[in-house]
Amino acid sequence: MAATAIASKVGGLSSLTKGVTGSSKLLAVAAFNKASSANIHSKTSGNLEPRLKPWDYKKYGFDYVHSLFDGTTKRFTDNSKLLVVEGPPALGKTEFAKALADELDMKFVPGFTMEDFYINSYGYDLRELDYKIQHDRVKSFDEKKFAQNPTGQDGGLDRMLFNLHMCRYMQHVDLLAHIFNTGEGVVTERSPHSDWVYFDAAYQQGWIDRSTKSHYYRMRDLTIDQVLRPNLIIYLDAPVDVVQSKIRERSKTTHPWEANSPVWENTEYLENLYGNLMKKQYLKLAAESSMVLQYDWSEGGDTEVVVEDIERLNMDYHDKYDKQQKDWRLLTEDGFASKRNLYTHKGDLLSQWMDPFWNADKLIWSSAEGLELEKIKMVLPGNEYRAGFNTILGDPEPFFNFKFGIGREKWYQDAPYHVENAHGDPQMFHEDKLRKSRKAAGMADWWKV
């Protein structure tokens, strides 16, 4: 395998033996009695530390009162880290990330896609209601449509990229909440910190509007500093011609929508996106704060080799003025508890996206479009009420299902977009009755009225 690892802080490897004195140990404030360690460990190494029982943050949340008796850093081990896998499509990043998470005893979380956006927790797909929509801009736009026509639906890509960024940001918040409440590390794909390269690449191709790009950067400047950057970025690379060859190959089986794609056959776009913006700009900048490992994955690779490279990295001990891993040096128990509270409740972070800026033309609906979209979202089964309270889908009656924490637990299963369920007119009421009768009759597509 021609896989050569490049550590972003090669000089930092010499500090692996550095003691605790004069340094801040990342995510291990409560571990000062242990022998100094700065490595992520694998199952094969036999050095995995046992984790304490996780805090049930989805049920109880985490407030100041909880911090008085449930410390944050006591659950952290050397593997309480956030690892992000980046790279071009069709290289097997998902399979690699799963194998890596398993070997490092971490949780694997797939990268957010429009599939996650449109399909709610009950399994109903908002895209299947496109036939009811009159305004073309309101219809769904996902990665499949992007591959076939990147300029379709008068700003479809503008809205897709911005929705993906918001949802990937909030997913990142959930991953941080998981690490801070359980001590379990996470391996995922893509990061909101790298989204700007996709906006820039699309804009340079003329696929998105200037106002969309400006709005994205304005919102990014307001929000991105609230979420910690990854501890480690693993970039799986391959020449553009190899990537295109693999895309053509999978278009014959699992991804037919990518066949003869004006996006993936666009060599200029791919070279700019991955060769210039991603590798020469984003990774170079990201390497100041996150460890970066880069591999040629043209013919796949050996996960064990990557694991060995990771185990050699100095992940925790850095000078207090060093930018490397700076986001994670919260120093005090109160510092960790404050971030844990922020990520667990996430309401303040979610409200950031209720921005007062109205200059992104492609992201804004007309009155008729907005009203139609709100009605369509509401009639999708499982969207009328919060997850867990839709009795037509078999959820128990709320009056007989009241228990502490159920509302908070179900919040994590809610649709990633806002649903305004106050709309109603005679036509909607009539269709609602039809859906109920069709469901009672056992019709498979009872909800498609």
Write the pLDDT tens digit of every residue in 341-358.
Answer: 999 999 899 999 988 788
Q: What pLDDT, on the 0 to 100 scale, is given for residue 404? A: 61
> Which residue is listed with tokens 């989204």?
195
Q: What is the pLDDT of residues 137-165, one digit of tens each?
A: 999 999 999 999 999 999 999 999 999 99
Measure Cα distances from 354 to 154, 395, 418 in Å.
23, 31, 11
CA–CA separation, 383 and 413 (whole Å)? 11
CA–CA separation, 111 and 295 (whole Å)? 20
Nearest CA to 173 among 313, 41, 353, 301?
Answer: 353
- List CB contacts of 306: < 8 A, sequence separation 6 or more: 3, 5, 96, 100, 234, 293, 295
pLDDT over threshold 70, residue 28: no
CB 431, CB 82: distance < 8 Å: no
Q: What is the pLDDT of residues 261-279, one digit of tens each?
A: 999 999 999 999 999 999 9
CA–CA separation, 228 and 327 (whole Å)? 6
Q: What pLDDT, on the 0 to 100 scale, is given for residue 25? A: 34
At 65, the pLDDT band (50, 70, 90 cuts) reads very high
Nearest CA to 180 among 33, 288, 333, 289?
Answer: 333
Buried b (16+ CB within 10 A) or exposed e, 151-187: bebebbbbbbbbbbbbbbbbbbbbbbbbbbbbbbbbb
- Compute the Cα dihedral for 333, 337, 343, 348 and give only its sign: negative
Mean pLDDT to the nearest integer, 283-308: 96
Tell me how many degrees the CA angle 217-359-171 measures, rounded to the nearest 5: 45
- List CB contacts of 259: < 8 A, sequence separation 6 or more: 248, 251, 252
> In the Cβ-directed half-sphere of 437, how many Cα atoms lie within 13 Å?
7
CA 242 and chain centroid, separation: 26
